[in-house]
Amino acid sequence: MTHTVASPGHSTGTMDSPRRITPAVWREKGSSGAHIALNSDEPGIRGLFRYRPETALPLNALVEVLLCGDSTLTRGERELIATYVSSRNECRFCFFTHAAFAAIRLPEGMALVEEVCADLESARIPAKLKALLRIAGAVQEGGKNVSADQVAAAKALGATDLEIHDTVLIAAAFCMFNRYVDGLGTYAPGDPAVYAARAKKTGGYLAVLAESLRQS
């Protein structure tokens, strides 16, 4: 299975001209090795969580609240925000991970993830979600790039203050996660089935972390 979506690894882009990815990226090899010696061969942030479980717990607790907690935004919509930001940051592991999570929680599946990341403005999603994703894209560029007009537009389409708050925090958090994963040179598998299988197993990030640490 291959996909053509906006994501890590290719041309520079702006919010109006997203980054692109070709199917070949699924088959590309990831980094040959992390910049530091890890104590497991798990990919991406999973290996970092294993290396530093003291920080893994609060980081997962934050993601649990943001992506899995009670919200007027669906889990699929929130995973889509995380995916969109990771795509724009060209973070291969986080992009593919959260694209898989979003795809199984959105009725339109991976096709919608592809559509949003390839061209947000033409994507067939609700206007409110599109407005929130514009805010997320502005956060990815820099916090001060979020404009009063973007916020007012989102509110005019029905976005609540809490939804705007959480959109900004999801975007900011995933900028941190993307830089954590890539800053330490972690490995990202090239097989999309790896990410799809993982996405189907989890009911929440803390549960998956606990299961992973029990297996260590």
Q: What is the pLDDT along the chain (216 residues), one digit of tens a residue?
A: 333 444 443 333 333 334 444 333 444 544 457 999 998 889 999 999 999 999 999 999 999 999 999 999 999 999 999 999 999 999 999 999 999 999 999 999 999 999 999 999 999 999 999 999 999 999 999 999 999 999 999 999 999 999 999 999 999 999 999 999 999 999 999 888 899 988 987 667 887 777 666 665
Q: What is the CATH number of the domain that holds 201?
A: 1.20.1290.10
CA angle 173, 31, 100 (to 5 degrees): 50
- For residue 67, give the DSSP letter: I
Total domain count, the chain: 1
The pLDDT of residue 9: 37
The pLDDT of residue 22: 31
Which of 121, 44, 107, 122 has its CA nearest to residue 77?
107
- Is residue 148 assigned to a domain? yes
The pLDDT of residue 206: 80
The pLDDT of residue 214: 67
- Is residue 50 assigned to a domain? no
User: What distance lies between CA 168 and its chain's CA centroid?
Assistant: 13
- Is residue 139 assigned to a domain? yes
φ, ψ dihedrals at 11, nearest 5°: -60, 155
The pLDDT of residue 212: 65
The pLDDT of residue 132: 98
CA distance 21 to 145: 25
Tokens 């994501």 belong to residue? 7
Enter the tokens of residue 199: 């996405």
The pLDDT of residue 24: 38
- Is residue 58 assigned to a domain? no
- Is residue 103 assigned to a domain? yes
- Is residue 27 assigned to a domain? no
The pLDDT of residue 14: 37
Which residue range forms the structural domain that includes residue 193? 72-211
The pLDDT of residue 198: 86
The pLDDT of residue 166: 98
- Is residue 17 assigned to a domain? no
pTM of the model: 0.85
The pLDDT of residue 1: 35
Burial state string for 156-174 with b = 16 or more CB within 10 A and e = fewer than 16: eeebeeebbebbbebbebb
- Is residue 175 assigned to a domain? yes
